[in-house]
Structure 1
């Protein structure tokens, strides 16, 4: 499973860099849910809404760097700790991602926690 997580993360970062709809679409199952925070009242539902809302909130590749570590796996859930460093005057964030991977390697559920890194 750790290889599947590594592969998914590589594809996620590539999609983040390209912002290509097909790259984003390939990450998620048709009925996936993408929550931008725990207990999200308005998560992104379904692959097409995920693509649409991702692109509306897009980051350009030259605006950020990202580092990550796999914290653990429990069944089909992967726990990833990340650090997103935005360049320029934007704040940077510590991240925790919980990803439910399906046997085909796509995510059916993605939940992120992010906290602005203190000065």
Structure 2
């Protein structure tokens, strides 16, 4: 597994847990785009809009679990940046739905994401 992807994912999960603006900011480049679905006309654009959107839609810490697997990454990832493809499973506790996830992440050489697109599908019981 790519060390760059593992490191970014660990930081993402830490930010998801903390909802701390500085943790969120550290994940993304200044001009990053965060799309909550493919071809998202309302994608969050720029680091500050990503932080604001994240905090508005934040999940409560301890209300979810997340497991993930790296499906693939550019061979140059970590050197010149590149794309990573992550499959995840988000399990919200209580009577909340669970989701299968697919994330496409463009990482830059400094380890931050310049693009993030997610697909999420509710898992039927």
For the criterion TM > 0.5, the same-fold answer is: yes
Gaps of 5+ in 2: 77-81
Equivalent residue runs for 1:7-22 within 5 Å: 7-22=7-22
Structure 1 range deviating more: 27-36 or 73-82 = 73-82
Task: Determine helix, strand or coil for the equivalent of 1:52.
Answer: helix
Equivalent residue runs for 1:13-52 within 5 Å: 13-52=13-52
Aligned mates of 1:110, 1:43 — CA distance in 2: 10
Gaps of 5+ in 1: none
Aligned mates of 1:50, 1:83 — CA distance in 2: 22
Instruction: State TM-score, norm by structure 2.
Output: 0.93
Per-residue Cα deviation, 1:46-82 (whole angstroms, up to 9, x for no partner): 0000000100000011110000000001250000000
Aligned mates of 1:42, 1:60 — CA distance in 2: 23
| Alignment match, 2:85 | 79
| Alignment match, 1:116 | 122
Aligned mates of 1:12, 1:56 — CA distance in 2: 17
Aligned mates of 2:72, 2:119 — CA distance in 1: 16
The 4+ residue runs of structure 1 with deviation greater than 4 A are none
**Which structure's residues are more often helix, by fraction?**
1
Aligned mates of 1:77, 1:24 — CA distance in 2: 20
Question: What root-mean-square deviation, in Å, do the aligned CA atoms of Structure 1 and Structure 2 show?
Answer: 0.9
- What is the CA distance between 1:16 and its match in structure 2? 0.2
